[in-house]
Structure 1
Amino acid sequence: MAFAFLFPRLRLVPAAGGPQIYFTSPSGSASADFHDHHGHDHAGHEGHEHHGHEHGGHEGHDHHDHDHGDHEGHDHDDHDDHDDHDDHDDHDDHEGHDHGDHDHHAGHDHAHDLRGASRKNLIIALVLIATYMLAEVVGGVISGSLALIADAGHMLTDAAAIAMALVAMWIAERVATAERTFGYERTEVLAAMLNTVALWLIAGWIVFEAYHRTFGTEEPHVDGLPVLIVGTGGLLINIAAAWVLHRSAGHSMNVEGAFQHVLADLMGSVGVIISAVLILSFATDNPADALWGFNWFLVDPILSVLIALLILWSSRHLMVTVMNVLLEGTPQHIDAYALCNDIEEVEGVTLIHDVHIWTITSGSEAFTAHVLVDPSYQGGNEQIRTQVQNIAHNQYGIGHVTLQLENTASSCKEDHHVDHLLHTSRPSAS
């Protein structure tokens, strides 16, 4: 195996339920456990005695030999009350979890700053679109132009998409509770999904309408000049709104959903202008007299179908991203193989397993794992925990890290999937 030189005492054995890890003792015998822990039983950590027991990273405390020297800024070096932990019930059912300091406020603060900037951009875009939409309604009523009122209805879908994004952002900022431990941040992901589905429905309606205009009983007829004026105004507004939203769309699926709506409208405006110019230039009431004998009024539905296809193509990536988040897949920008490999390079780490990496919402990722510690390592679990946490935070940008440090895997009830051992980086798609 490619990883054998990294872990000379580990063997990956194929089995019906998936690959199994065995730890080979110095004498050459293999144990079904990850390593031989000299008879020390950590099964559940329930009701065991704490004579000299080392709790690597315990809610941010340093429990090496039960020295509370670093206790959230308090000096407990001479705290006699902590000398004897034989019957320390507070640790009975902690089950060896090291929660990686759980200090992910910096990640939350960054996400909050991004959300604030995104909200500002959404409001600006909403004002631009709503103002032009109202102007179109007024102009359409005064002039009797159906084209103006129809485009105002199109603008209304953009305004609704942006409003949905703003509402989702407001809900996402609600404080997490004991019943909803991750808060409501996934609301933004759901809003992005709904906006994408709405776009696909609009694209489907465009294709349906284009078919009936092309093959229906009524001859298609488009008044080119009002369409050209409306399309030009809509293009300018959509360019401004798209430019504003583009600054936030890169780091927020919620904003990207609204951005895709504006982008679709922008492409629609381009199509409207092109069709209006062609109709004004070549269309005649009698197609036989037109250039090449073509009915140029058909340009409008033909371009509409092309725009619908562009809408589907441009929004497909957002839907894939949303589904990956909802299925709790590993974020595309995080290489799980490389992350695990970097952690296993830390001194004292034998193996990392039961790894989970997922996205809570845009810009907020979480990582949990079990870290198997070499029993002969003298540096202490706190040192390992700090190094692993720094790798996840600083190299991979993960804000929420929870680690369980173990000296044996005999008490582990979770699946010990170790697929990352087969590669040191994400394999390329074949």
Structure 2
Amino acid sequence: MTATDTRTAGAARALFRERFGTEATGTWSAPGRVNLIGEHTDYNDGFVLPFAIQHRTHVALAPRADHRIRVATGFPGAAESDAAPVEAGLAELHALFPARRDEIPEWARYPLGVAWALLEAAAIDPGSVAGVDLAFASDVPVGAGLSSSAAIEAATAVALAETWGVDLDRAALARVGRRAENEAVGAPTGIMDQMASLRGRADAAIFLDCRSLEAQVVDLGFAAAGLELVVIDTGVKHSHATGGYGERRAACERGAAALGVPALRDVTPDDLPRLAQLVDDVTFRRVRHVVTEDQRVLDTVRTLREQGPTAIGDLLVASHASMRDDFEISVPELDTAVDAALSAGAVGARMTGGGFGGAAIALVARDRVDAVRDAATAAFAASGFAAPTIFTVTPSAGAARD
């Protein structure tokens, strides 16, 4: 583990000791992710190209003698009352989710939802496995579009699977995490984030077919090309459980229904003129983003393999323009970050994540990182925005026991 990992794992153990009065028997961790390209394509059965990052969520765990589950968090920004342990019987989870999820604090729905979904996916009698206590600590920025939620889900899934002796592969655990987020939390997200967190590889991205869940490792070659991936966290918080994300998903479903296909994965750019005659302008533009974004993912993978990372800049820029103009999920802070990075010489830049806030990413020559940082900071100040948080991320390994 890195020094940061050691500190965060230690924080999880310390929180466990403080909240539960005993020692954890182990810690597991899972990373956040950056999506290099492929936004809002995952729940349309399309293609994405994320990579796991070095920022991780750690969970400390110990089995209990009964069949109950308790969870505690030390996440930054959680009110003390919200961070108090939340407890339920394992056999009670099926009654809580999804029908009574609002009775559970939102942060606790993630790990409790994973426990519920894992029990069901593995057809486990809740009375046949030990209860558990779980305590979480994280250095994944929350609300920045780096999938802090999937890091919680993936860490919980691998910890519980090992503790309960569940033999499910990583794709199945990703489906567990997605079900928890969709039904226990109420966020209508796809499976990209969970797959990236569970299947991440050092120095590589995961080219994921969200229909088949086939995943290919794609070497990024950033280090060899002298490139860094800079994250510009705008500080504008978002929540996938609120309306904007769900409205975009509903528009995609309307577009697919109008064309008589199961998902927008089955739509090509050649179908767009016909679609324009069938749906309203807003629905058309939402669909156009997804269809063209799928193609940009395929083009990015091919370009990385044939020409290397310095050649993908225009694809990143086109992706941002599509999200800004067609999907309308950018915000002024994200546009400012992207424009500033490009003006300072970035190879390419785009917003990343679900939108409505969060972070932008910029692919930058190593000797231009400071220039990009300075340009973004100055542009935010000139626009009257709060200063962004700017850092670099490294493609890293997926979920594992510490």
Into which bin does the TM-score normalised by the smaller protein fall? under 0.3
Query: Relative to total residues, which structure has the larger strand share, 1 or 2?
Result: 2
Q: Which structure ranks higher in relative contact order (CA pairs < 8 Å, sequence separation ≥ 6)?
A: 2
Rg larger in 1 or in 2?
1
Query: Relative to total residues, which structure has the larger helix share, 1 or 2?
Result: 1
TM-score by length of 1: 0.20
